[in-house]
Amino acid sequence: MSEAPARCGVIGFPLAHTRSPELHRAFAEQCGLAQGYSVLAVPDSDFEPAVRTFFANGGCGLNVTLPYKQRALELADSASERAVRAGAANVLARQALGTVLADNVDGVGFLRDLKRLQFDPRDSKVCMLGAGGAAAGVTGALLEAGVGAVGVLNRSVGRAQSLISRMDDRRVTELSGEGGTFDLVINATSASLANECPEFPDELVGRATLAYDLVYAREPTPFMQRAAGLGARVSDGWGMLVEQAAESFFVWHGVRPDTDPLRLETR
Ligand code: NDP
């Protein structure tokens, strides 16, 4: 690795617990690619100037995390279709002429992890708990993948309705009283971060359900524990985190790292 390292990083606030640097260091090593990776924990008023300075100084790409995913989409010169549909960007990438592209790789990361779990989303019936940026990215990807139906249940009804109108697809509806059991129940709320479980009726989950918490956790989250108690197969979001990091690496460098060793070893 003799060339100058491509400058990449993650921007958000706070960033004390980010796992992105270790994932990206391992990807760069695996691919024999020189990449420096910085952690930019910037307060609210500094977000746009920090991004502009980063790219003006030759930066190659940024991962964007809470609370800046929407502002990242707004400040970029162009955006991918998946970022526009999600209304949020978690990747910024410098383009050939120095312009900045906004992208969203949450959905593709989620679909790759579903594949590992041998869950085929085609024609499946999905319940989406939560209606924030991650729910939007994942719902868009599920629609692309041919999902049968997505019922959205969120603490604040207004946000669920905004997600449904943003998706603009008759397969995405508010969860009705007679939803029955779902093939896949996704916890796309941030409740697990507060060690809480979002409210949902027991009947959504059965023995054939895959219950997936987007939050990555070393121990089962309250959502995973409850779903397992109802007979479901469960997963946390570590695999998705690794896959979306690999996809952002691909967006920046055009090389896709092998995620298997990282998913198994880095944890
Ligand atoms: P947002 O802040 O955009 O949305 C948060 C959502 O959680 C909202 O729907 C909110 O409801 C809901 N919520 C928050 N607290 C509770 C609670 N106590 N009970 C019920 N609902 C609650 O966050 P994101 O969509 O960006 O992220 C959601 C989660 O997904 C985060 O925990 C994040 O760590 C995880 N994530 C994981 C990724 C991975 O790669 N594994 C990638 C991206 C995100 P309301 O609208 O009512 O406020």
Which of 129, 161, 189 is the pocket-test mutation for ligand 1 (most atoms within 8 Å of CB)? 189
Across the range 94-104, mean pLDDT stands at 95
Of the pLDDT bands very low, low, confident and very high (cuts 50, 70, 90), residue 3 is low
**Mean pLDDT value across residues 116-131:** 97
Which region among 117-121, 207-211, 217-221 has the lowest average model confidence (pLDDT)? 217-221
CA of 156, closest atom in ligand 1: 47
Q: Residues with Cβ within 6 A of ligand 1?
A: 66, 106, 109, 130-135, 154-156, 159, 188-191, 193-194, 196, 198, 214-216, 237, 240-241, 244
Percent of the chain with pLDDT over 90: 89
Expressed as residue numbers, the domain containing 200 is 107-239
113 token code pair = 């992890």
Write down the pLDDT at residue 4: 72
Do 111 and 98 fall into the same domain? no
* Ligand 1 atom with the shortest distance to the CA of 135: 25
Q: Are residues 116 and 225 in the same domain?
A: yes
- Percent of the chain past pLDDT 70, that is, above it, reads 98
69 is catalytic: yes
Confidence of residue 263 (pLDDT cuts 50, 70, 90): confident
pLDDT of 6 reads: 81
Catalytic residue chosen out of the listed positions 7, 24, 69, 112: 69
Domain for residue 145, yes or no?
yes
- CATH at 115: 3.40.50.720
SS3 257: coil
CA–centroid distance, residue 94 to ligand 1 (Å): 28
**pLDDT tens for each residue of 36-74:** 999 999 999 999 999 999 999 999 999 999 899 999 999
* 72 and 129 housed in the same domain: no
3-state secondary structure of 62: strand
Work out the average pLDDT over 207-216. Answer: 97
Q: At what angle do helices 133-144 and 157-167 cross, to 10 degrees?
A: 30
Co-location of 117 and 232 in the same domain: yes
Same domain for 122 and 224, yes or no, is yes
For ligand 1, what atom is nearest to the CA of residue 130?
9
Q: Is residue 257 domain-resident?
A: no
Give me the mean pLDDT over the 17-23 stretch. Answer: 92
Residue 84, class by beta-carbon neighbours within 10 Å (0-12 exposed, 13-18 middle, 19+ buried)?
middle
Spacing, Cα 194 to ligand 1 middle (Å): 11
Kindly state whether residues 68 and 157 are assigned to the same domain.
Answer: no
Assess whether 93 and 165 both reside in one domain. no
For 174, other C-beta atoms within 10 Å of its C-beta total: 15
Give 134 Cα–ligand 1 centroid separation in angstroms: 7
- Choose the final residue of a domain: 56, 75, 104: 104
Mean pLDDT of 83-96: 95
How many structural domains is the chain composed of?
2
Residue 63 lies in a domain: yes
- Provide mean pLDDT across the span 1-29: 88
Would you list the DSSP string of 138-177?
A: HHHHHHHTT-SEEEEE-SSHHHHHHHHHHH--TTEEEPPT
Distance 131 CA to ligand 1 centre (A): 8
Mind listing the pLDDT tens digit for each residue in 148-178? 999 999 999 999 999 999 999 999 999 977 7
Max CA pair span of the chain: 61
Average pLDDT, the chain: 94
Q: Are residues 91 and 190 in the same domain?
A: no
